[in-house]
Chains A and B, each alone.
Chain A
């Protein structure tokens, strides 16, 4: 298929960006979206132009590095996938595709489609852990029985890949789904209870400090999340946060 691409080009964080049109031809429907971008970049390099910078790494939907906003949706039109898992069979010959970076105040653009998601890391430094030494001298793993239901729910929250699609999709650029998933994973497990009060308070405080917006229950984040992280996690975080503030 032949396609027109409208891509955000911005040479660095300080520069003013703009949309630029490109044409690609003979794109196979079996290609992934990023393989289509590879074709474009090879074409640009061979023409002596600068290739489009975009983040990507594992190309199997788990590292959370890829981050494109395609036709107005984080990770594009398919559901339950990252951009690297999006395939060209979702598009038609002759389509025009708009490709932008994930946009949020807390995700400044580094170059073209590459953004800085360091704010997510800093939220986790604030409390995304259980304070246990890595000596291995803990109790036996089966010493803490955990109901299958709780373990499965914690796992569902823990599958978040930290890509930032939730933030990019939210009209308020809120990070509540991401932080909610992190808080939930630990809140659902007995190991996480000891520090629960401080954890939720510190992580929420850092989230606010980074300039993420508030949640107004639109639910776009849940729809666009490639890993199906549910809104329940936001509700759980709100409960944890409320009870933490009541307790202290």
Chain B
């Protein structure tokens, strides 16, 4: 018997959540006033959870490293949020959203969690509209939808290319209402540096005030971690510069198991890197694949001519182009899931067909969409025999209305006009499906310690579908955690205020202070970024889009060696008692240097290809699916949950077997 208990309630899948909610314990309003909850991170998950918990009556403290909760990196999500509303009447349903998500995740997620997510998805849209989120609407005044990869319906709600921003501002506005009432106390420019456990229960955190450097103790009856994913372990990713794994990793070291670290999403449509100085990569929303067609030249001569600047992409005729996604996956075409699209781009570029100087770029072309929309508009406006220029003008206006901000962003970065020449794109690290292991209640393996949003592992299996991250963040924060945490807190009504002048807080604070003093006094010879870039390089080369046993073993050794070098030679300027960005980075990179090793170990252990985890040893050898990823359900239909044992390499594996009662496990085919 595994030590892991997922606590999935009994009963039919379709009624599990409702039945469960009807039977869990509640806390009466008067008692809620005596209970404190800490929420670390104020993105969609943390922001929505904080607002809802405060609204219910708990005393909430929020922590974020940014200068305002509104700046959490959920704000950068572009394309949209899924919900099974079936407003388009195209056959969508809760079941279908559930099915698509489990299939898209390559059958490595927990059925009951995913069904609940699909079930509450529709409420999210109702909630956000009531809050004043300005979703896109059609001329009749009703909500508009678009399609995302891996699905055959239009269920994605959006606010131009800034959906994450609008949803986060919605959650932030709900927080503001509670801040005004005094029910949320926001601690901005604060970083959580450890969790404090008392008698096995999470009872508070140690945080650093990033402006003054002061180390603070905060106690609570429950702690919620909503600190996002660990994509920055790769150095270059679409994450924000400050996005980090520290909160998640610190709780891992205090007993929370870490699940499936190797499940990372490499997003197919990002702006390619241009030089060694590059500090981050920029995503071009998946929504662009609704209208953009992805291609590389068919002939190597054309590839060379383009790289040398002798030919332009627009010089190539239709037959000289290889629309490789449409060729390989006729059923889903350009809208295959992200992992499939990324690997296909890598395959073409590895074969030498990349279209920029680095050989790592493919085209995303809007010419046919502009023409199609242009002709449609000409018809709508009764323009007969419209000239090609007129059609272009009309079509470009529609494309601009849909994706204007993304096109502008591209033009500013690359200095090319994507209305006139195809965009160049390449896959980049974007999202991490792995994360802290949680049960059905979203509680970690530590009592009273919860983990929500991207920081946990639960809903996306081995690959997340587009527009599902926003859905999960808000579902966890608005509609799941506020119920499940009540069941735990109902046993805390007699606890009273938790003191911070205890040996447990002393010990945790000392550990944090010692680490900070170590960094400041180390006076080594290399900057923190020097190590972060080296780590990123190992991760990308050996734990990137395709992985093999030898590379992963090497990665483990190299990361460990790099970590040892880091502790000997890292240099952190300045002092601990002021705003010190280098000190902040040092702590975060120290955690990435541990997480990276566990990541490689997890990837090594999982000798199958599934979702974003592609093992070169596990591919289909023949038939229609030849060359595609080969999953192994007999041996690997489980969640890998790692228990910390002192060194990342010594972590102990616990398996949560995945059972699928509603869905038949199949080869994922998008052909």
Contacts and interface: CB of A to CB of B under 8 A. Distances in A.
Partners in one complex: yes
Interface of A: 11-12, 28, 30-32, 34-35, 38-39, 42, 44-46, 48-51, 53, 55-65, 78, 80-81, 85, 87, 89, 110-111, 114, 116-118, 120-121, 124-126, 128-142, 144-148, 151-152, 154-155, 158-159, 161-162, 185-186, 189, 191-192
Contacts of B242: 57
Interface string B115-149: 00000100111111111101111111111000000
B573 A11 contact: no
Given A134-B48, A142-B142, A189-B134, A30 B275 contact: yes
Nearest to A140: B126
A64 B76 CA distance: 11
B174 to A, nearest CB: 5
A65 B71 contact: yes
Contact of B137 (A80, A117, A130, A148): A148
A148 B130 contact: no
B132 A85 contact: no
Interface in B39-77: 48, 51-52, 55, 66-68, 70-71, 73, 75-76
Contacts of A133: 55
B73 A58 contact: yes
B663 interface: no
Nearest to B283: A60
Given A87-B412, A133-B55, A147-B141, A63 B66 contact: yes
A126 B180 contact: yes
A60 B409 contact: yes
A46 B142 contact: no
Interface residues of B, number: 79
A134 B126 contact: no
A132 B188 CA distance: 24
A141 B102 CA distance: 26
B316 interface: no
Contacts of A124: 172-173, 176
Centre residue among A56, A136, A151 by max chain B CB count within 10 A: A136
B573 A50 contact: yes
Given A57-B240, A62-B162, A158 B169 contact: yes
Nearest to A34: B279
Contacts of B280: 59-60
Contacts of A136: 120, 123-124, 126-127, 478-479
Interface stretch (B304-312, B575-583, B615-623): B575-583
A59 B279 CA distance: 9
A35 B279 contact: yes
Contact of A130 (B131, B159, B166, B179): B131
B132 to A, nearest CB: 5
A59 B243 CA distance: 12
Nearest to B415: A89
Contacts of B52: 134
Q: Which of B73, B87, B139, B241 has the most CB of A within 10 A?
A: B241
B577 to A, nearest CB: 10
Given A85-B409, A158-B169, A189-B132, A45 B579 contact: no
Ranked nearest first, the 4 interchain pairs of A and B with the lowest CB-CB distance are: A145-B141, A136-B123, A129-B173, A138-B130
A60 B123 CA distance: 30
20 contacts: A30-B274, A31-B275, A38-B277, A57-B241, A58-B241, A59-B241, A59-B279, A59-B282, A61-B412, A128-B176, A129-B173, A139-B130, A140-B126, A145-B142, A146-B137, A146-B141, A147-B137, A154-B132, A154-B134, A155-B160
A130 B415 contact: no
A57 to B, nearest CB: 4
B421 interface: no
Interface string B150-192: 0000000001101001100100111011011000001010000
A56 B241 CA distance: 7
A125 B176 contact: yes
Best-buried of A49, A132, A137, A145 by chain B (most CB within 10 Å): A132
B380 interface: no
A28 to B, nearest CB: 6
B140 to A, nearest CB: 7
A151 B135 contact: yes
A110 B579 contact: yes
Contacts of B126: 136, 138-141
A39 B276 CA distance: 11
A63 B71 contact: yes
Contact of A53 (B134, B413, B579): B579
A53 B280 CA distance: 19
Nearest to A162: B70
B184 to A, nearest CB: 10
Nearest to B408: A80
Interface in B550-606: 571, 573-574, 578-579, 581-582
A101 to B, nearest CB: 13
B386 interface: no
B377 interface: no
Given A152-B134, A185-B132, 8 more contacts: A85-B412, A87-B413, A117-B67, A134-B478, A140-B126, A146-B141, A147-B141, A185-B134
B407 to A, nearest CB: 12
Given A31-B275, A62-B75, A63-B75, A11 B529 contact: no
Contacts of A53: 579, 581
Contacts of B138: 148
B625 interface: no
Q: Which of B128, B159, B280, B529 has the most CB of A within 10 A?
A: B280
Nearest to A42: B527
B278 interface: yes
B174 A31 contact: no
Given A121-B68, A140-B126, A61 B409 contact: yes
B499 interface: no
A211 B452 CA distance: 38
A217 to B, nearest CB: 27
B85 interface: yes
A43 B280 CA distance: 19
Contacts of A192: 132
B211 interface: yes
A189 B131 CA distance: 10
